[in-house]
Structure 1
Amino acid sequence: MDISKISTLDRASVLHPFTQLKEFASGKMGDPTIVTGGKGVHITDVTGQRLMDGFAGLYCVNIGYGRTEVAEAIAKQAHELAYYHTYAAHTTEQLATLSDRLVRMAPGKASKVFYGMSGSDANETQAKLVWYYNNLRGLPKKKKIISRERGYHGCSVFSGSLTGMSFYHDHMDLPFGGVLYTGSPHYYWNAEVGEDERAFSRRRAAELNALIEREGPETVGAFIAEPVLGTGGITPPPAGYWEEIQAVLQRHDVLLIADEVICGFGRTGAAFGSSLYGMEPDLVTVAKGLTSGYIPLSGAIVSEKVFKVMEDGADRVGSFSHGYTYSGHPIGAAAANAVLDICERDNLTEHARTVGAYMQQKMTDTFAQCDIVGEVRGVGMMSALEFVADRGKKTRLDPSLKVAARISAAARKRGLIARAMPHGDILGFAPPLVMTTAEVDEMISIASASVRQVMDEMAAG
């Protein structure tokens, strides 16, 4: 492989997401990382460097890299039937099988699955379903969707609007109308003095209730949330949070959309985050771990409650007028079935629960008393370190110091990919679910050395 040629072609022709375009185009940020392979929890670049992927791609490579069973399932389906659409009741064996599996395993009372290619388009679908559902019920004003500050739900026009972080909106003419925001469930930064977790959860629920009543319950159609905040900081909910929130939603006839794109398929140590936290969603969004990132596929899982309204309205409104060329793509379905087979055979959810518990304890033991770490948090195979200037006073760091980004860069030089989260000085970990305890030890050892390096640099001025 001609590395120089590939780098030149890439720099000249690829519009990279979340990349400083001028710095990349000018070469200031160096050449692109050309990834050539992967096995287990590691990827390899074109120079032969082997990197432990402490973030599973983007939370998605649950089964690890290099699983030939999935490649074989993709190839087999491509040889048999590479593509056909699912419009007008066309299907394939793989799609019907996958849909049955998802309906049976999904949280809540699931009925049907609509397919797309990404979590973003799945949440676009969820918004349309909320509007459609309430139109069919004769409630044309009940359309607003409430999201949360720091929630992440995608980057397309409406899903990007649902994302509750302003830098996803800046210069993009977002958020779009019809989206409201309520407070983040992050207890560490948002709790009042003397307020325990349950009191904090009750206050957040009261704030949500007040928002709905202020807007008018007849105008609010749904509430969308991740069981565990992902990109907004890998933040598990405080005690009693979902119990309190769901009581408010039920009081006002507001649908609950559980965005399980990150949490689903074992990452929290449960099949779904909703299951872990006692959520009963009306709509469930899945992607990422559904195919372990091996091929694009997403799903909008529809409850019996919502589908019954859609079914009853069909004679009046005609066909369900929503769909994509690649909805229910047979290769995507084949890949998903192969991934779910692996998850079941290898009991990866249980593995994530036990190894995840080890990882959480090891993170706490290593970092809880570190002067620069304000909070160690996580659940299952997700963890985060929140860096602060003063742990006792909970003083935030000067953003210009870019502490988390520097620690992430130091870890990468030592062979570990850990993510500097985009909302604050936070270092995130979400490794493949197949990671072993020995690999957890290695990951945390590298992270610890990297934290110490940056602390020493800061002390030296």
Structure 2
Amino acid sequence: MTHSNFLRERDIRFHLHSQTNPEALRRDGPIIIERGEGPYVIGEDGKRYLDVMAGLWCASLGFENERIAGVAARAYRSLAYYHSFSGRASPDAIDVAASIAQRVPIENARIYFATSGSEAIETMIKLAWLYFRGRGQPERRKIIARDRAFHGSTIFAASLTGLPHMHREFGLPLGGIVRVSCPDTYRGRIAGESEDQFADRLAAELDEAIVAEGPETIAAFIAEPINAGAGVIVPPDTYFEKVRAVLDKYGILLLADEVVCGFGRTGEWFGCQAMGMKPDMMAMAKGLSSSYFPISAVALTPEIYEAIDAANAHGTNFGHGFTNSAHPVGAAIVREVLAIYDEMNLLERVSRQGKLLRERLSEELSDCSIVGDVRGRGLMAGVEIVEDRNSKAVFAVEKAVPAQIERMGMDYGLMLRPQGNTVTFCPPFIVTDEQVEEMANKVGAILREISSL
């Protein structure tokens, strides 16, 4: 038996994969990736794939970085682990908390560290509940979330997620979730409606939902500035301004899920800056460390910190924490990643490369009959696939068009991961002009081939 076959059999026998069909894994085996090289990943057979999605929206600096590897090695030799319970802290965690607080658009922010985006989302929800208990409103428990949103895989984060496949197997969602519409300007607008009018209608829907549920029962509204998992849904420019006005009317908190959008992805440091969103808390992960370490963070306003302080005024401890919060090695990696971002003039680079990506996709796909929409902001983009441009009808599920696109992408040397009927793009920030051309040209060839079938 070859080593490759040995690995495949062991994987099928012992490894439960995320977001994978078990039968397909048993039939086809795993796709084994052995190493990374810049924005490319290399399979066991030596084939190189340009990863259009930076893994899972996260490997901002590509799939290997000697500088960060050196920092990690030194950090492991110095302090391989310590916690943040009972007032403990490492120098790097202190420095990184200060650096993040100085970047976020929340004045005098405090930073809490966790280890995943899902944990950061759960932390924001718990803090929202704590905040209202401290204000004598413990009945404010409900959270407003949007259809087609993705907020994580833990129990409450998955409940907030507006994607049925995240609920089907687990008896989710939990109660206490109020669902409102996704701000999809391509599919959500009615005939003759401007984007601003669409935003007005969504704000009115939000107001009506709050009144129907009872404002006194609602703690917060959660949203990604740009909805990544639904296919890079960019809301109208005035959407969050109008949403915030409704929330302020009823004293409801606004929680920003910056897990994908944060740290430069949208052309601003944070997606809420790009989209005019003024949050009370922000959850961050992925680009925070380029996913070179599992670390996340929550930024909170002074008012929410004061509620934590008041709840423990008689000598009790804040009753929340994770074993690996503020991990010293993770903090050292984050500090170096942020330094690299600053040195590479990240925001200017993202804006330039993102503009080139959208222009080249639009040019390459302008005559492709199955492309309904090309959209994006910063260095993230979505190409929506339709069977009919006029009606915007999608292909029947049994045709498995997204799976065909993913398979053909590998044939072309691209690692694609369609989100539903949208081919999404979130390449590493280090992607070159030539690699942007490669993406656009190859995706164009793939979609034209599918349209001719």
Q: Any idea what the Cα deviations from partners look like across 1:375-425, whole Å, max 9, x if unmatched?
A: 11111111111111211232232222122221221121110112111x3x2
In structure 1, the partner of 2:253 is: 255
8 A contact 1:41–1:52 mirrored in 2: yes
> Shift of the alpha carbon at 1:299?
0.8
Percent same amino acid among aligned pairs?
35
In structure 2, the partner of 1:420 is: 418
Determine if the alignment matches structure 1 residue 222 to structure 2 residue 220. Answer: yes
Which whole-Å CA distance do the structure 2 matches of 1:453 and 1:317 have between them?
A: 67
In structure 2, the partner of 1:15 is: 16
8 A contact 2:38–2:63 mirrored in 1: yes
Q: Any idea what the Cα deviations from partners look like across 1:59-99, whole Å, max 9, x if unmatched?
A: 00111121111111111111011011110110000000000
> Shift of the alpha carbon at 1:110?
4.7
8 A contact 1:368–1:375 mirrored in 2: no
Which whole-Å CA distance do the structure 2 matches of 1:408 and 1:429 have between them?
A: 13
Aligned to 1:190, what secondary structure does the other structure show?
coil
Determine if the alignment matches structure 1 residue 112 to structure 2 residue 110. Answer: yes
Query: Which deviates further from its counterpart, 224-233 or 398-407?
Result: 398-407
Which whole-Å CA distance do the structure 2 matches of 1:56 and 1:242 have between them?
A: 27
Query: Which deviates further from its counterpart, 52-61 or 304-313?
Result: 304-313
In structure 2, the partner of 1:276 is: 274
In structure 2, the partner of 1:102 is: 100
Query: Which deviates further from its counterpart, 360-369 or 210-219?
Result: 360-369
2:342 partner amino acid: E
> Shift of the alpha carbon at 1:118?
0.7
2:394 partner amino acid: R
1:194 partner amino acid: G
> Shift of the alpha carbon at 1:181?
0.8
Aligned to 1:294, what secondary structure does the other structure show?
coil
Which whole-Å CA distance do the structure 1 matches of 2:306 and 2:364 have between them?
A: 51
Q: TM-score, normalised by structure 1?
A: 0.96
Q: Any idea what the Cα deviations from partners look like across 1:250-276, whole Å, max 9, x if unmatched?
A: 111111110000001111111110111
2:16 partner amino acid: L
2:441 to 441, 445, 457: 445
In structure 1, the partner of 2:392 is: 394
Alignment map for 1:29-108 (pairs within 5 Å): 30-108=28-106
Instruction: Give the 4+ runs in structure 1 shifted more than 4 A.
Output: none
8 A contact 1:284–1:301 mirrored in 2: yes
Relative to 1, partners in 2 of residues 1:238 and 1:369: Cα closer, same or farther, differing over 3 Å? farther
- Where does structure 2 lack aligned partners over 5 or more consecutive residues? none
Which whole-Å CA distance do the structure 2 matches of 1:426 and 1:122 have between them?
A: 27
2:426 partner amino acid: A
Q: Any idea what the Cα deviations from partners look like across 1:189-247, whole Å, max 9, x if unmatched?
A: 11111111100001001100111111111111000000000111111112311111111
Relative to 1, partners in 2 of residues 1:235 and 1:110: Cα closer, same or farther, differing over 3 Å? farther
Determine if the alignment matches structure 1 residue 364 to structure 2 residue 362. Answer: yes
Which whole-Å CA distance do the structure 2 matches of 1:108 and 1:357 have between them?
A: 28
In structure 2, the partner of 1:429 is: 425
Which whole-Å CA distance do the structure 1 matches of 2:347 and 2:415 have between them?
A: 23
8 A contact 1:39–1:64 mirrored in 2: yes
1:239 to 199, 224, 237: 237
Aligned to 2:312, what secondary structure does the other structure show?
helix
Q: Any idea what the Cα deviations from partners look like across 1:33-82, whole Å, max 9, x if unmatched?
A: 22111121101111100000100000001111211111111111110110
> Shift of the alpha carbon at 1:109?
2.3
- Where does structure 1 lack aligned partners over 5 or more consecutive residues? none
> Shift of the alpha carbon at 1:316?
4.6
8 A contact 2:57–2:286 mirrored in 1: yes
Aligned to 2:248, what secondary structure does the other structure show?
helix
1:298 to 296, 299, 310: 296
